[in-house]
Structure 1
Amino acid sequence: MSGQLLIHNGRIVTPNGMIEKGWIRFNDGIIEEIGSSPAHEDRGTAHVLDAQGGWVLPGFIDVHVHGGAGHDFMDADVEGLNEITRFHAAHGTTGILATSLTASRDDLTGVLERISSYMSAPMPYAQVLGVHFEGPFISEKWKGAQNPAHIVPPQLDWLEDWAARFPGIIKIQTLAPETDGALDYIEGLARHGIVPSCGHTDATYEQITAAADRGLRHAVHAFNAMKIFHHREPGTVGAVLTDDRIIAEVIADGHHVHPAGIKLLHSAKGTDNLILVTDAMAAAGMPDGDYNLGGLPVRMTCGVARLKEGDSLAGSTLNMISAVRFLVREVGVPVEQASRMASSNPARQLGIAHQTGTLEAGKRADILLLNDALELQKVWIGGREIQS
């Protein structure tokens, strides 16, 4: 267990606002108290860290990430999982969903087996919170960088088998709601406590609305790989923008969505219905070159990954602290709102907001220290400082 530490002279971002010249104390991995200076002086804390006026934020939770540091969640062994989680922890991610690609049933079951085993032991870096299945029940028209060889209609028997063998491991599943059997599958996901998500879809406005009536609550990488907006047929994008039951992801890297598109999304959804994600692939943190994504060849040039055939964007090489900086600097989102999109909103969507996602007494000490330029200085996961 971690020891006691008090961070003072920081801008502490809490659910009730930002505390100037604030302090936060944690002990044995749990936040004990938060306040404003100089009241900490009589707390008797052995270890004190001066934040020097920097930002103190809750750790980021990335609900859509395929890999990093040269490894992919689809096939990574324990060493590979450690490398992925270490890379993302070094960029502020304290909780992560291991995200799959469209693949065979056996390969997806293999992901659940390895992630379930990994979660059963102490994890040294970013905590894997479960699995996000992106596919295989998607639209071939909007497949993006997903392998079309494994696209199939929704299979309820697969879901029942996975839920029985790996209870609580699948947290989100993304599918195309217009496909045969999708509405019943969405109800099945909701019944098992899994967040139903739309993505890689050609669904009309009416089809998304019908899916939300059955339990759809999430949309992956808004604007990307979904039926576009038209003023007479608003499409998937129009439904995602206007239905308050749906929380939308956004990839803020300057390549997937123009800053004006993010401003539009933010204006339509509001801060509390947006989740910042990376959609990072194995090439994140690696040099330019050739890589693989779900069996498809990818080339990364100047940090941008694209399929060699078709030139579609192939995930991203983004990390969460860079995404937060992009929101603040290029889109004009205040730091406090960007923090909610990166931490508290995903925690709420995953049903773990009572444990993490905000800086409050009694919650896990998943804490970030940033300087005034929003450069990451220190990361604590469960009160334990992570060395990059």
Structure 2
Amino acid sequence: MERRPIILKNASIYGEKQIIEKGSIAMQDGKISGFDVDFHFGDDAEIIELPETYHIVPGMIDVHIHGAGGADTMDATFEALETIASVLPREGTTSFLATTMTQEQNKIEKALENAGLFIEAGQVEGNAETLGIHLEGPFISEKRAGAQPVGAIIEPNLELFKQWQELASGHIKLVTIAPEIEGSLEVISYLHEQNVVASIGHSDATYEEVVSGMKAGASHVTHLYNGMRGLHHREPGVVGAALLHDELTTELIADGIHVRPELISLTYRQKGNEKVVLVTDAMRAKCLGDGQYDLGGQEVTVQNETATLKDGTLAGSIIKMNTAAKNMMQFTGCTLEDIIQMTSVNPAKELNVYDRKGSLAPGKDADIVVLDEDYEVVMTFCKGNLSFRRGDET
């Protein structure tokens, strides 16, 4: 059944090639129809008049999120992924990678199989789209495990990864891996050949070892500064290599907790808007508030917007993408156009979905977010479905 067309009017539209002031954008059958033209919809269209101070931007893409709303990818159920997908539009996120974590192999396999099946057959219209899977661990360094359980870390194994990719129905799109571990370069090279993003993370690699990983095909860095060898004036480490090499796109958790605002500003100056991807690395406690939660069988305490293990180790975040975007603007002085680059364009291009996601252009998926003058989310459309409207929360 055809859906009624929707037209958003009067706000500033941040299109792929230009900003249209007091513009109009039309959606029909899940796609963007066009801008500021005679849409020929007659009386069939639903017209939504917006204040001139509002902004219409592309939906955000979170390539690193474990959970939200009490659910986690490692729960390995359709219900968990549906919960995550249903709450993300509240923060302007219209698609994401379901992110696993280091666990016993059978638990990882259940999560991968479940996510693969969910992507194929379980997605719910009107929710954020699960674009694929981010495999974070277990091919990481014990020295830089962070909140990843050390006992479940294993050496990179190409044959095992191939089995896991088959189990996931080919939907693993990004893999966090430590390039200094034996067997990693073979895996990274294979990932590159298969158009899977190889991301350096939870790594104690030296600068030279990072460069070797890059030569093998690594192109991404998982949550820069966190879970990696830091910058030293005689050993640049993972951080130094990430800042120096344009081949590497860097994730940032812009909550002001995982990385100090001053270093976020420094990173932005060095990398620019085309080589930064904002992520949340959120865990199940997002949207639920302070309390005790589970992360991979470990007790996590959430208090004052910070999630930690018993020993004080940071255990993911509870930040929302629109909050990260606002923080980034505050920390760096960047513009909304820069935010669109870091939350929509860059991840869409990395995941090879820019032909249908990541910008507002005719023919692309109608993943659209309306922001007010304070950059708070007013409405979110996922493939033309009104998925969130402020004031409608139950």
Please indicate, yes or no, whether the TM-score normalized by the shorter chain is above 0.5: yes
Aligned match for 2:286, one of 268, 271, 284: 284
The reply on whether 1:21 has 2:26 as its aligned counterpart is no
What one-letter code is carried by the residue in structure 2 that aligns with 1:102?
T
The answer on 1:173 being equivalent to 2:172 is no
The answer as to 2:93 corresponding to 1:88 is: no
Give the drift of 1:31.
0.6
- Whether the 8 Å contact between 1:252 and 1:327 is mirrored in structure 2 is yes
1:47 alignment partner AA: E
SS across alignment from 1:12: strand
Between the aligned partners of 1:76 and 1:55, the Cα distance in structure 2 is: 37
3-state SS of the aligned residue for 1:120?
helix
Letter in 2 for 1:292: D
Residue aligning to 2:234: 232
Mark the CA change 1:59 to 1:374 in structure 2 (over 3 Å): closer, same or farther. same
Q: Is the 8 A contact 1:144 1:312 kept in 2?
A: yes
The question of 1:379 aligning with 2:369 is answered: no
**SS class of match (1:316):** coil
Q: Deviations over 1:39-78 (max 9, x none)?
A: 5587646221122120101001000000011111101422
The CA deviation at 1:287 is 2.4
Q: What is the TM-score normalised by the length of structure 2?
A: 0.94
Structure 1 counterpart of 2:192: 190
**Which is further off, 204-213 or 78-87?**
78-87
Please list, as runs of the form range in 1=range in 2, the aligned pairs for 1:278-357 lying within 5 A after superposition. Answer: 278-308=280-310, 310-357=311-358
1:103-118 aligned at under 5 Å gives the runs 103-118=103-118
Q: Determine if the alignment matches structure 1 residue 218 to structure 2 residue 220.
A: yes
Q: Deviations along 1:230-250, whole A, 9 cap, x unmatched? A: 122111001011111111000
Deviation at residue 285 of structure 1 after TM alignment = 0.8
CA distance in structure 2 between the aligned counterparts of 1:365 and 1:298, rounded to whole angstroms: 37
Q: SS state of the match for residue 130, structure 2?
A: strand
Task: Give yes or no for contact 1:175–1:201 (8 Å, CA) kept in 2.
Answer: yes
Q: Which amino acid in structure 1 is aligned with residue 236 of structure 2?
A: P
Residues 24-35 of structure 1 mapped to structure 2, 5 A cutoff: 24-35=25-36
Match in the other structure for 1:7: 8
Q: Verify the 8 A CA contact 2:178 2:200 in the aligned structure 1.
A: yes
TM-score, normalised by the number of residues in structure 1: 0.95
Q: Is the 8 A contact 2:8 2:25 kept in 1?
A: yes
Shift of 1:227: 0.6
Cα distance in structure 2, aligned partners of 1:264 and 1:40: 46
Cα pair distance change 1:297/1:17, threshold 3 Å: same
Instruction: State the shift of 1:175 in Å.
Output: 0.9
Asked whether the equivalents of residues 138 and 201 of structure 1 are also in contact (C-alpha less than 8 Å), the reply is yes
The worse-fitting range, judged by mean Cα deviation, of 282-291 and 80-89 is 80-89
Contact 2:117 2:169 in 1 (8 A): no
Contact 2:357/2:364 (8 A) holds in 1: yes
Secondary structure, in 3 states, of the residue corresponding to 1:386? strand
For residue 111 of structure 1, what is the amino acid of its counterpart?
A
Taking the aligned partners of 1:156 and 1:76, their CA distance within structure 2 comes to 23
Aligned-residue sequence identity (percent) comes to 38
One-letter code aligned to 2:306: V
Which residue of structure 1 aligns with residue 46 of structure 2?
47
Give the match's secondary structure for 2:23.
strand
Q: Is the 8 A contact 2:117 2:168 kept in 1?
A: no
Answer with 163-172 or 269-278: which moved more.
Answer: 163-172
- Tell me which of 144, 147, 153 is aligned to 1:145: 147
**Distance between the aligned counterparts of 1:270 and 1:350, measured in 2?**
19
Aligned partner of 1:128 in structure 2 is 130
Count how many residue pairs are aligned between Structure 1 and Structure 2: 384
Secondary structure of 1:341's partner?
helix
| Contact 2:116–2:169 (Cα < 8 Å) also in 1 | no
Give, as a single letter, the amino acid of the residue that structure 2 aligns with 1:353. Answer: Y
What's the secondary structure of 1:187's corresponding residue? helix
8 Å CA contact retained: 1:378, 1:386: yes
Note the alpha carbon deviations across 1:284-336, whole angstroms, 9 max, x for none. Answer: 1112111111111111111210011x211100001111111111233321111
Which runs of 4 or more aligned residues in structure 1 lie more than 3 Å from their structure 2 counterparts after TM superposition? 39-45, 164-167
Question: 1:212: Cα distance to partner?
Answer: 0.6
Q: Report the Cα distance in structure 2 between the residues aligned to 1:326 and 1:168, rounded to whole angstroms.
A: 35
Quote how far apart the aligned CAs of 1:164 are: 3.2
Hey, what's the Cα distance between the residues in 2 that align with 1:209 and 1:15? 33
